[in-house]
Homo-oligomer: A and B are copies of this chain.
Amino acid sequence: MKHCIHIFAVLLFVISGSLCLAQTEQSNAKEDFKPAATNQPGKEFPKVNSEGRVRARISAPEAKRVQLDIGAVKYDLTKDENGVWTGDSNPQDEGFHYYQLWIDGAAVPDPNSLYFYGAMRRGSGIEIPAHDQEFYALKNVPHGQIRKILFYSESTDTVRRAFVYTPPGYDQDMTNRYPVLYLQHGWGENETSWPKQGKVNLIMDNLIAEDIANPFIIVMAYGMTNEGGMGGLRNFDIQPFQTVLIDELIPYIDTHFRTLTDQPHRAMAGLSMGGFETRLITLKNLDIFSHIGLFSGGSITPDDVENTPGFKEKVKLVFVSYGSRELDRGRGWGGDPRENTKALKEAGINAHFYVSPNTAHEWQSWRRSLYELAPLLFQD
């Protein structure tokens, strides 16, 4: 359970922002702020400048203190004569970040932003423009669909929701069948996280339009990682989710979509806790999955290969990735993931290691990881 405890520690860090002290540092911001792409329609604030600073604004005429809470730091806002509070953050890494406002001790979503599920709640998110944002930009190319499906799960006796990406052309050629990637979110997130902040459809549409990746179906289901809250994670049991995935969801997908249903055409990948789930489930089910992707969520070790009968014959791809800033911390989840992946490659396994430059345990790392993984999938 070493991996699990480490993931737990990193996540605690992410959500503990509210415990940090308020900053009073003056902002020497470059005055080229523009409305964030993640704002609600017609909302001017929050804005982002070319340094990646976030400028938030809210009217709260009777408040004593208003703060912007982003990147685990709280920044004091300043009130003007009309009761409108404004303030800047320090520069943020490029990509997507969760944030919130504090008004006289109440933690609330910013009423100007769109909302995203993460850190165990639906709340504000903000997009910091990235140098490579073209790969997930909305373009005039053929677009696939994101489909919300509802399927009955006998093991939990619930009707469960999942999202399915079908690639462009899926509804035109009715004879074609497609491989499937099962793609998991992290702890504190849910099945909406990849379709929304993950921008999974735009990444795939653009890759397919440029003929960089083959079209395939992507299924995004709730990994049941939040049950019991933080305490529950220490005792996380993979079995309930594995049952839903293997015994219920996969058969539903294979009967309701035009899939290729054999092992060589089924992959599983996930981020953080979803990577941990991917590792646990694929290693025990190599007759079902042939491609394995772990984003900021551990690695496959030479010991794993040795202890898993048939690994070398059955596994077509191992893909391991991290954000450079989390890797720099030197945390070895089950040993150094770069070294582990290198050892697999030297042992003749099709293993890839990717590092997302200048990003941490966050969505820009995982968007890039999907962008790097997709062209490697289903190449046989």
Contact = CB atoms under 8 A, between A and B. Distances in A.
Interface of A: 40-42, 58-66, 83, 100-101, 103-109, 111, 114-115, 120-123, 138-140, 143, 145-152, 159, 171-172, 174, 190, 201, 205, 226, 229, 256-258
A107 B106 CA distance: 12
A217 B64 CA distance: 52
Nearest to A43: B121
B143 A151 contact: yes
Nearest to A112: B121
A109 B110 CA distance: 8
Contact of A107 (B83, B107, B111): B111
B150 A58 contact: no
Given A105-B83, A145-B148, A121 B40 contact: yes
Contacts of A40: 121-122
Given A41-B226, A151-B143, A60 B105 contact: yes
Contacts of A42: 120, 226, 229
Contacts of A109: 108-109, 111, 115
A108 B105 contact: no
A149 to B, nearest CB: 6
Contacts of A83: 105
Contact of A104 (B41, B103, B115, B256): B103
Nearest to A58: B106
Nearest to A144: B150
Contacts of A143: 149-151, 159
B115 A172 contact: no
Nearest to A100: B111
Contacts of A106: 58-60, 63, 66, 103, 108
Contact of A147 (B59, B104, B145, B151): B145
A42 B143 CA distance: 35
A316 to B, nearest CB: 28
A139 B123 contact: no
A236 B107 CA distance: 39
Nearest to A40: B122
Nearest to A205: B150
Contacts of A58: 106, 108
B61 A62 contact: no
Nearest to A123: B111
Contact of A108 (B111, B145, B152, B172): B111
Nearest to A66: B106
16 contacts: A59-B105, A60-B103, A61-B105, A64-B104, A101-B108, A103-B108, A108-B108, A108-B109, A108-B111, A138-B159, A140-B159, A143-B150, A145-B148, A147-B147, A148-B201, A172-B256
A229 to B, nearest CB: 8
A121 B58 CA distance: 15
A147 B150 contact: no
A171 B108 contact: no
Nearest to A226: B41
